[in-house]
């Protein structure tokens, strides 16, 4: 396994839907409250 990190190009980062901080918060919630987190995500689907 490699420890090498590849950073995405700036134009990709600028067009993301969530920031790295938001991702970490969402990930933590998905682990700590999976039913609540995924229940809310399901409501976002049409």
* pLDDT score, position 2: 82
Give the pLDDT of residue 26.
Answer: 97
The list of the chain residues with pLDDT below 70 reads 1
Domain that holds residue 22: 17-43
22-38 exposure pattern, b = at least 16 Cβ within 10 A, e = fewer: eeeeeeeeeeeeeeebe
- Whether 11 maps to a domain, the answer reads no
pLDDT reported for residue 38: 97
pLDDT for position 39: 96
Residue identified by tokens 């682990």 is 31
- Counting every residue written for the chain, the total comes to 46
In a domain, 1, yes or no: no
Give the pLDDT confidence score for residue 10 in this predicted structure: 92
Q: Is residue 7 part of a domain?
A: no
């Amino acid at each position: 396994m490699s420890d090498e990190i590849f950073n995405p190009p700036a134009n990709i980062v600028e067009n993301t839907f969530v920031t790295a901080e938001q991702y970490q918060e969402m990930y933590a919630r998905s682990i700590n409250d999976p039913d609540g987190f995924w229940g809310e995500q399901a409501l976002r689907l049409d």
